[in-house]
Amino acid sequence: MFELMGLPRMAGRIFGWLLISQPSHQSSGELAEVLQASKGSISSMTRLLIQIGLIERLPLPGDRRDFFQIKPHAWSQLHEQQLARITAFRKLSERGLDLVKTQSPQSQQRLREMHDYHAFWEKELPQVNQRWIEHQKERVRE
Amino acid sequence: MFELMGLPRMAGRIFGWLLISQPSHQSSGELAEVLQASKGSISSMTRLLIQIGLIERLPLPGDRRDFFQIKPHAWSQLHEQQLARITAFRKLSERGLDLVKTQSPQSQQRLREMHDYHAFWEKELPQVNQRWIEHQKERVRE
DNA sequence: CAATCAGTTCAGTGATTGCTGAACATTCCA
DNA sequence: TGGAATGTTCAGCAATCACTGAACTGATTG
């Protein structure tokens, strides 16, 4: 599934293990062993996962090793990325509209729709995220 | 930007041209020439874009050539795909939860959050899409 | 200080991908 | 029926990518 999202398989394997491992934090060494992967792979993939916002590094006092664990609210994080992409599309369509602004409104229509759609989502996405946060608060109270 | 979405660059180039070309429908030959690409490329990439739902084939009576044009509401289409991915994640987390159901609730928590988040979006996404459709209707009336 | 351990970097590999160009298939018209 | 025009399929190439393993860095401990 991570590959479908355009991420390396190894990133998915690490994330998958961290979803179910006990304890929830695991060292590079443990990851390398259980996943049968090289230290190099673990190093670069954990870096990637941290950058995306799905996991976090967890230094334990008195232990020289780095531990990794799934970041709470990792999933909201993922959709932040998506917001960035939507914004990029909105801006791209604006650049396009600017270039064809002298042409007939009819020929602008395709870009117009692209623009409006992304502008719409740019507004909606944070609201849905907000709703998720509240939805989650309720769950905790139960 | 298409490459960022995990699609081949050529698909993006075709889509980009169809966003601004006049007329809005273009034949394979025209696409191949303006984009300086091989007929084979055009053939496979238009097939891909049709499959994704971003463009459509437009047979003109009396013309042996196939024409392609951007599908109206192409963008909603894209987010249908995303809904499928969300559903897949929701199901995957359910499979996971089933496997660890005998363990402590605490150790299930990571999967639980993954599940709830995707179940939430699975419900929200169609609603937002509905709102987009209505939002668009208003625009037309103006 | 040396020795050890954890982690990073990077050259090298095998596999995959995107694209071309040529061969092939199909449709239409003379 | 031939032949021209249009589109598809596929072998092959170049570029890219994911991953390994080894060399390296840097921190900690005896």
Cβ contact, residue pair A100, B75, below 8 Å = no
**pLDDT > 70 fraction of chain B, expressed in percent and rounded:** 98
Residue-by-residue pLDDT tens, chain A, 142 positions: 998 888 999 999 999 999 999 899 999 999 999 999 999 999 999 999 999 999 999 988 888 898 999 998 888 888 788 899 999 999 999 999 999 989 988 889 999 999 999 999 999 999 999 999 999 888 766 5
| CB distance A56 to A68 below 8 Å | yes
The answer for B26, left when phi > 0, alpha when psi is -120 to 50, beta otherwise, is: beta
Mean pLDDT (chain B) is 91
Please tell me whether residues A66 and A85 are part of one structural domain.
Answer: no
Please tell me whether residues B58 and B79 are part of one structural domain.
Answer: no
pLDDT (0 to 100) of residue B137: 85
Please tell me whether residues B53 and B37 are part of one structural domain.
Answer: yes
pLDDT digits (tens, 9 = 90+) for B82-137: 899 999 999 999 999 999 999 998 889 999 999 999 999 999 999 999 999 999 88
Å: A26 CA to C6 C1': 14
What is the per-residue DSSP string for A37-63? --HHHHHHHHHHHHHHTSEEEEEPTT-
Q: Which residues of A touch B (CB under 8 A)?
A: 1, 4-6, 18-20, 22, 24, 70, 72-76, 85, 88-89, 92, 96, 99-100, 103, 107, 110-111, 113-114, 116-118, 120-121, 124, 128, 131-132, 135-136, 139
In a domain, A2, yes or no: no
- Contacts of A103-106 with C-beta under 8 Å, sequence gap 24+, read A103/B22
Please tell me whether residues B55 and B91 are part of one structural domain.
Answer: no
The amino acid occupying position A53 is: G
Please tell me whether residues A87 and A100 are part of one structural domain.
Answer: yes
In a domain, A37, yes or no: yes
Please tell me whether residues A13 and A53 are part of one structural domain.
Answer: yes
Please tell me whether residues B93 and B135 are part of one structural domain.
Answer: yes
A8 beta carbon to strand D: under 7 Å: yes
A49 beta carbon to strand D: under 7 Å: no
User: Nearest 5°: phi and psi at B76?
Assistant: -55, -40
Number of domains present in the structure of chain B: 2
CATH code for the domain of A78: 1.10.287.160
In a domain, B125, yes or no: yes
Please tell me whether residues A19 and A64 are part of one structural domain.
Answer: yes
A26, A21, A40: which is closest to A10 by C-alpha? A40
User: Nearest 5°: phi and psi at A58?
Assistant: -130, 95
Q: Who contacts A131 (Cβ-Cβ below 8 Å, separation ≥6)?
A: B124
Nucleotides of C under 7 A from a protein CB: 5-11, 17-23, 27-29
Nearest chain A Cα distance for residue B137, angstroms: 12
* B59: confidence class by pLDDT, cuts 50, 70, 90: confident
In a domain, A1, yes or no: no
Q: Is the peptide bond before A23 cis (omega within 30 degrees of 0)?
A: yes
pLDDT (0 to 100) of residue B141: 61
Residue closest to C17 C1′ by Cα: B8
CATH code for the domain of B64: 1.10.10.10
| CB distance A58 to A70 below 8 Å | no
Please tell me whether residues B60 and B112 are part of one structural domain.
Answer: no
pLDDT (0 to 100) of residue A142: 58
Q: Which of B70, B98, B121 is the last residue of a domain?
A: B70
Nucleotide nearest to A7 (CA to C1'): D18
Judged against a pLDDT cut of 80, whether residue B142 lies above it is answered with no
pLDDT (0 to 100) of residue A24: 92
In a domain, B15, yes or no: yes
Judged against a pLDDT cut of 70, whether residue B64 lies above it is answered with yes
The amino acid occupying position B44 is: S
pLDDT (0 to 100) of residue A141: 61
Q: Which of B39, B70, B101 is the last residue of a domain?
A: B70
Instruction: Give the residue on B whose Cα is nearest the Cα of A100.
Output: B20
pLDDT (0 to 100) of residue A48: 94
HSE of B121, CA atoms in CB hemisphere, 13 A: 25
Please tell me whether residues A80 and A127 are part of one structural domain.
Answer: yes
In a domain, B79, yes or no: yes
**Best residue of A1, A97, A110 to probe chain B, by most B CBs closer than 10 Å:** A110
* Domain ranges, residue A31: 9-70
Judged against a pLDDT cut of 90, whether residue B13 lies above it is answered with yes
In a domain, B85, yes or no: yes
Q: Measure CB to CB from residue A100 to each of B20, B74, B114 and give the nearest one.
A: B20
Cβ contact, residue pair A110, B20, below 8 Å = yes
Please tell me whether residues A82 and A38 are part of one structural domain.
Answer: no
Token duo for residue A89: 């599309």
Q: Which of A19, A36, A70 is the last residue of a domain?
A: A70
Instruction: Give the residue on A whose Cα is nearest the Cα of B73.
Output: A113
In a domain, B4, yes or no: no
